[in-house]
Every structure is written in structure tokens, then in C-alpha cells.
Amino acid sequence: MSKNKELLWQSRFSLPFDRDALKFSSSVHVDRKLFREDIRGSIAHVTMLAEEKIVSREEADSIVAGLREIEVELAEGSLVPQWEDEDIHTVIENRLKEKIGIAAGKLHSGRSRNDQVATDTRLYMRGRINSLEEVLGGLMKVLLEKAETYRETIIFGYTHLQRAQPISAGHYYLAYFNMFDRDRGRLRDLMKRVDISPLGAAAFAGSTLPLNPSRTAELLGFGAIFPNSIDAVSDRDIIIEFISACATIMMHLSRFSEDVILWSSYEFGYLEISDAFATGSSLMPQKKNADIAELVRGKTGRVYGNLMTILTIMKGLPLSYNRDMQEDKPPLFDSAETTIDCVKIFAKMLENTALKEDRLAKLTAEDLSLATEIAEYLVRRHVPFRDAHRITGKIVTWSITNAITLPNIPLEKFREFSEAIEGDIYDSLKPDASVNSKKTHGSCSFRSVAAQIAEAGKAL
């Protein structure tokens, strides 16, 4: 550390801070991401200080001009933060002093590092929430397009990873649409708690100076100001909520990735991923791997780990601020960047996938997943459901034993199992008939899916 550079808090101490201790505690390699937010918060703060006559207008103008120059220097890379500066806030304040002299020291009037960092964090989170909501909207748009394209394409619906019933592929894509729509809702709800300015709370008890927190909140575009100065600087609930929301988004992406990986495999063969979003093997020339989906699935674990990290950091902290809270930035930044990147690339990959409709049509026409139609056919013939279920189970067993698909079982054989079965049973044993026979709200019939698509379009 150069001799002319003093840590901002060091005046009370008679010995310089140990270099190894400084390197251990330095956060500038992480919080340098907040330089724009820090400068924006400082400009709002000094503007308020001038309006309240705590600093002169000339001093405020000099500070603002210097801060804007520093923002350009940091953005362009001509000013490179060093670990000796401890954090990005010190980098900016020390550089400001070099530029404008002693007037730089007035910027911190009535402000603590505690409410400064809390403000920067909330400004960052507002931007990341907006970005994440935007990319989720892009993914939902792709899902809606897929639902429209494949509304009348029939696929297998699964339970327990076993073929269950034929459904509209559009219905499947809309299920994920609804998941991501809920994710957007969580982010919008969280924004109400993020959009509160902590600036003016000072270290934790407020200030004797005539600050105007409402004015700085207005200048920064916050919707409200803190109700309690202790909570303003010690609250990290919003970070926990945000990473939790990211973890839920990643969980949805991971489930979707699992489907993409399985469906694009040779064993399933339902889905084709564009070569532009697949990889090969360095040894096996025939391989086509769904690596993007696998990476998204893998990165989900990172975000889960970040959630446990921030919960563990906060679980035993007494009020108000503690230095442990410096460790909130790595999980916050990593979760935001990882989730945004994953949503963006997954949407792009999904846009470049196609269902293998010919193969699906052949498989769904011959599969045992039509068995439920036999049971419900018998119910419509006034056979009690439990009896209908038992009869259908015996039909399925016979079908498997004799290697004859359900639609190809002769009528006389059907009638050996139940005399309630007539020739119209074959009308029910068609995939499209099965799908379109569904009458309940939100079901997989083509008509219901069309209605769901229309509602989804409104949500976008």
C-alpha cells in the first residue's frame, strides 16, 4: 500500500493495518461491480447535501463532475481498482480526492459505509430483477410460439417417467410457460421490498445532520424510504428472497433441461436439437450431446448453494451491521448472473429445437397410454369405475402378452372382458380422440389449449 493512501476508517488507530489482514478483508475484487451504483448513490447524496446547505453548491458541483469522470475511468479501464484500496467505495473516494482535493471529504457527510452499501445493493438488485424479468419474458415468448406450433401435435404425457396419457404438445409447453410466469410474479412482488431507500440511516442510528432521505430516494427513483434505521442497514432479507427466486427459476429450467436431454436421446427420439446448440465427442464420432441443457442443469446446484450460503451467513448475526455481511455479494452477483445467462441461452436453444412429429404420431397411435380411454369408455357405459379399472387392467395384460396393440384387439376379444364394450370402442382408441375428449378446465384438448394460448398471450 502506497504511503499517501490511507484507509477511510484508520484515523482512530496508531498502527497501520496489517497487509495480510487487509488483503484478507479486501472486497474490491467483488464489489467493483457496483461502481455505477455507488457513483449514482453518491451523486444523489451530495445533491441533497447541497439542497440542505450542508455543503455548498460549488462543492457539490465539483464532486459531481469528479464522480462522473471517475465513472468513465472505471468503465474504460484507465482506473483499475487494487486490493490495497479495500473496497470500490474507497477506490472512488480516494480518486475523487486526487481530482478535487479536500472537498472530496465532504461527500461522506451524514453517510456511513453501511447505508451506502445497502443503497448500492438495492440499486443493483433493481436492475437485475428487471433484467431477469425481461429474459423470462423472452423465454415465455418462445414457449408460446412452440405451443402454437405444436398445438395439434400429440405427445406422451408422463407420470413417474412412465407413459401415462396422450396430450397436446402445446399443453406441455404451456405448463412451463405457467411456471415461468409464476417466477415473474415472484420477482415483481420482491421488487416492492427492494424498492426502498436506506440512504440516510447512516451507520444504523441516523444522523444529527439535517438530511432529507425522501429527497435522495426521489433522486434515485426509489418508491419509499426506510421506516427504521437499524433495519435499513442490517436487512438482507431481499437478497435471500432474490436468490430463492433465482433458485426456483433454475429448478424450473433444470426440470425442463431433463426433458430436453431425455427426449433428444436415441432411446426417446422425440426431439431434435439444432447442431448449433449441441456438441460431439472427442472420441466417439456418432455422438450428439445436449450439453447446453446439461450445463443449465448443473448450474442449478450453484444457485442452490448460494441460497444456503446467504442463509448461513445471516442466521446468527446480532443487530445491526456486522462485517460478515460483506460476504453477501458473491452469492448475490453469482446467482443473478448465472440465472440470467441460463434463461437467455436456454430460450435460444429451445427456439432451435423441433419435435419429431412423424415418430411421435406412430408411437402414440400404438401405445398402451390409451388404456385410460377404455376405462372411461366403460364408465360412460355405466360400469363402476373400480370395475372398469380392473377390466382395463386385464385387457392391458392380454395386449402385452399377445403383442397386440389396444386399437388392434378384435371386438370379440374386448367383449370377453366386458359385454358393455361395443364397436364404438375404436373411436376412443385414437390419440386425437383421446386428447379432444377431455372436457375439464385447463385440460389438454386442442380447444382448451387454444384458449390457454390466448390467455398466455395476454400475460405477455
Q: How much is the pLDDT for 285? A: 84
Task: For residue 1, name the pLDDT band (cuts at 50, 70, 90).
Answer: very low
pLDDT, residue 2, reads 41
- Tell me what pLDDT residue 6 has: 62
Angle at 122 between CA 247 and CA 179, to 5 degrees: 30
pLDDT level of residue 4 (50, 70, 90 thresholds): very low
Pairing of strands 196-197, 162-168: unpaired
More confident residue, 78 or 21: 78
Told to judge if 171 belongs to the known catalytic residues of this protein, a careful annotator would answer no
Going along the chain from its start, the domains and CATH numbers come out as 15-109 (1.10.275.10), 114-151+166-356 (1.20.200.10), 367-459 (1.10.40.30)
Say yes or no to pLDDT of 21 above 90: no
334 pLDDT above the threshold of 90: yes
pLDDT of residue 308 exceeding 60: yes
The Cα–Cα gap between 71 and 43 comes to 11
Residue among 11, 14, 160, 282 flagged as catalytic: 160
pLDDT at 7: 67
For position 231, what pLDDT does the model report? 97
Instruction: Note the pTM of the prediction, 2 decimals.
Output: 0.92
Mean pLDDT of the chain: 94
pLDDT value, residue 340? 98
Better pLDDT: 40 or 13:
40
Residue pLDDT, tens place only, 139-194: 999 999 999 999 999 999 999 999 999 999 999 999 999 999 999 999 999 999 99
Taking the C-alpha atoms of residue 36 and residue 354, their distance in angstroms, rounded to an integer, is: 42
- State how far the Cα of 307 lies from the Cα of 314, in Å rounded to an integer: 11
Query: Does 160 qualify as catalytic in the annotation?
Result: yes
- Give the Å distances, CA to CA, from 159 to 162, 163, 420: 6, 7, 29
Q: What count of other Cβ atoms lies within 10 Å of the Cβ of residue 224?
A: 12
Cα–Cα distance for residue pair 135/342, rounded to 1 Å = 10
Residue among 29, 56, 274, 281 flagged as catalytic: 281
pLDDT digits (tens, 9 = 90+) for 192-239: 999 999 999 999 999 999 999 999 999 999 999 999 999 999 999 999
Model confidence pLDDT, tens digit, residues 285-301? 888 999 999 999 999 99
Grid cell for residue 434 = 383421446
